[in-house]
Amino acid sequence: LLAEPRFDMAAAATLCEKWGRGGAEGQPLRDGAIWLIGRLLRLAAVRAAGKENVASVVCAFEEEAISRLVSHHGAGRLADQHAAFLRSASQMDGLYLDFGHFLSRELAALGGKSLP
């Protein structure tokens, strides 16, 4: 989704609904979503800062998403977004709030859209 030229809200909603499933049975999916989005933001921030060549440690879909993030956001913004995402994700998950909606908002913001 993050690698596409146009952000697909319907696809994001479907994915986030699955990843945001509540309860104990949804915990592994929520953990995976947090890990993946955090990783993409961290690697994009590092690349945008020109500190490290991350191409050798990512798979094809990550490469596309990272390149798109770097082309739309600066290193500082990506680093700030990484920290804010991890902090907010932990709070949302710990408070048992609507994690799927939270993920939708985060992905839309990274994809260049905004949601309420």
Residue percentage of the chain with pLDDT more than 90: 25
H/E stretch holding 78 reads helix 75-94
Asked whether residue 83 carries a pLDDT value surpassing 90, the answer given is yes
- In the DSSP assignment, the letter for residue 6 is S
Distance from C-alpha of 108 to C-alpha of 116, rounded to nearest angstrom: 10
Among 16-30, 67-81, 82-96, where is mean pLDDT lowest?
16-30
Residue percentage of the chain with pLDDT more than 70: 81
All structural domains of the chain with their residue ranges:
9-110
Asked whether residue 45 carries a pLDDT value surpassing 50, the answer given is yes
- In the DSSP assignment, the letter for residue 51 is S
**Coil/strand/helix, residue 15:** helix
> What does the pLDDT read at residue 53?
65
